[in-house]
Amino acid sequence: MKINTKFAVPALSLLLLTSCTTDGGMDPMVEQSQTDFNLPQISGAQGVKPNISAPTGQPPSTLEKKDIFTGTGKEAISSSVLEVHYTLMAWSSGKLVESSWDSGQSATFPLSGVILGWQQGIPGMKEGGRRLLVIPPDLGYGAQGAGGAIGPNETLIFVVDLIKVS
């Protein structure tokens, strides 16, 4: 039997293209049913205080990170000293707890000296980047909380702008 390639090649190409997905083969309904939280939305231009929408649903039980802006400078590693601007929101209330932007003063510290959520969520970030970190209590301040501003077992929402890596 002889196959007419004039029609077979275009038909095969069409069949292959229509069977492809752009989502890595994941069923979007399954993906959504596995999460019962929605990450806050972050808006605002680079170099200015971000706006953070209040979170909805139950908080995630694992560290969530999402780059809002990808930096192009030096990359943070676990032994880096960082200069950052940050904004902190409590998941339970959806209220801002503090922001270095409000004081007009960035913060500088060794990455090894902060909460585990930052130690795990910041490496790989580059200068000039902005990253959303949603940190569960076990990687934040845990059952003790932190003063009156952060209650026990609070999920933390940080938006971090990485200014400088040393």
pLDDT tens for each residue of 26-63:
333 333 334 557 899 999 999 999 999 999 999 999 99
Q: Answer yes or no: CATH 3.90.920.10 is held by domain 36-165.
A: no
DSSP label of 113: G
Report how far residue 102's alpha carbon sits from residue 138's, in angstroms, rounded to the nearest whole number: 28
DSSP helix, strand, coil percent of the chain (3-state; round to 5): 25, 30, 45
Mean pLDDT over 59-73 rounds to: 97
Report how far residue 138's alpha carbon sits from residue 8's, in angstroms, rounded to the nearest whole number: 58
Dihedral of the CA atoms 135, 139, 143, 146 (nearest 10)?
A: -70
Structure tokens at 123: 């490496």
pLDDT tens-digit profile of 113-166? Answer: 999 999 999 999 999 999 999 999 999 999 999 988 899 999 999 999 999 999
What pLDDT is attached to residue 35? 52
**Cβ count within 10 A of residue 152:** 11
Report how far residue 125's alpha carbon sits from residue 111's, in angstroms, rounded to the nearest whole number: 12
